[in-house]
């Protein structure tokens, strides 16, 4: 059975393939020309994830998974939140987003630099819908640390390991990350619901298995 993950991010596709590697499914992503930016018009992660999953399920006919995630900083009343990817304006680089966030937090001292990464994964098919949330708590450093990851990873300190997300190995990050949590909950639900035992068809838009 084919499942569509509504993203052009190959890293996300690889992560979900790893989580579902023992299941009878083929995970495909969107081709590079696709975009989800204009679909993300809601005020919550749940609504944005469902909007994307519904949109691409309708276009493709495939059971579709979509996620929406972001960084929520307590001292900024939860910002940047659902606007994490667009923080700093259209076309802003990861570095620009980090610098903007650090500037807004320049007067915030310990112990008030708490934050969390949140991810909601939505599943939409002809049989129904479901959503799954993952969260991981951390602290915002006053300067970036580490060369890995992407987005806000270099300033997000995961205290149990004493590392930023940018200092974690791929396996470490997948094991604790908000996205990994949400995807694993989805995978468990797929198994327990017997959805994976039911043949499904459909493939009407450009997808890629790469």
Express as a percent the part of the chain with pLDDT over 70: 89
Q: pLDDT tens per residue, the chain (210 residues)?
A: 899 999 888 878 888 888 888 888 899 999 865 666 667 778 999 999 999 999 999 999 999 999 999 999 999 999 999 999 889 887 889 999 999 999 999 999 989 999 999 999 999 999 899 999 999 999 999 999 999 888 999 999 999 999 999 999 988 988 999 999 999 999 899 888 876 655 443 333 444 445
User: Domains of the chain by range and CATH?
Assistant: 2-208 (3.90.950.10)
CB-based burial, 85-116: b 16+ in 10 Å, e otherwise: bebbeeeeebeebbeebbeebeebeeeebebb
Predicted local distance difference test score (pLDDT) of residue 124 = 96
Predicted local distance difference test score (pLDDT) of residue 196 = 64
Predicted local distance difference test score (pLDDT) of residue 103 = 96
Predicted local distance difference test score (pLDDT) of residue 198 = 52
78: left (phi over 0), alpha (psi -120 to 50) or beta: left
Q: What is the DSSP letter of 15?
A: H
85 Cβ contact list (under 8 Å, min separation 6): 37, 40, 70, 151
Whole-number Å distance between alpha carbons of 152 and 104: 14
Residues annotated catalytic, as ranges: 68
Helix (H, G, I), strand (E, B) or coil at 138: strand
Predicted local distance difference test score (pLDDT) of residue 37 = 61
pLDDT tens digits along 90-136: 788 999 999 999 999 999 998 999 999 999 999 999 989 999 999 99
Predicted local distance difference test score (pLDDT) of residue 197 = 58
Predicted local distance difference test score (pLDDT) of residue 34 = 61
């Amino acid at each position: 059975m084919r499942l569509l993950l509504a993203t052009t991010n190959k890293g996300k596709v690889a992560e979900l393939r790893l989580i579902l590697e023992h299941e009878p499914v083929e995970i495909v992503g969107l081709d590079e020309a696709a975009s989800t930016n204009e679909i993300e018009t809601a005020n919550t992660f749940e609504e944005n994830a469902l909007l994307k999953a519904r949109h691409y399920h309708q276009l493709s006919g495939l059971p579709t998974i979509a996620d929406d995630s972001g960084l929520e900083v307590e001292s900024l009343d939860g910002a940047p939140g659902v606007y994490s990817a667009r923080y700093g304006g259209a076309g802003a680089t990861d570095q620009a987003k980090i610098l903007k966030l650090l500037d807004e937090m320049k007067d915030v001292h310990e112990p008030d630099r708490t934050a969390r990464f949140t991810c909601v994964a939505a599943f939409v098919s002809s049989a129904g819908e479901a959503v799954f949330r993952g969260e991981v708590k951390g602290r915002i450093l006053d300067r970036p640390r580490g060369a890995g990851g992407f987005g806000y990873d270099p300033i997000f300190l995961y205290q149990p390991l004493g590392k930023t997300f940018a200092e974690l190995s791929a396996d470490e990050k997948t094991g604790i990350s908000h996205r990994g949590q949400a995807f694993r909950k989805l995978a468990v639900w797929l198994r327990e619901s017997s959805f994976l035992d039911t043949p499904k068809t459909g493939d009407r838009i450009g997808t890629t298995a790469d």
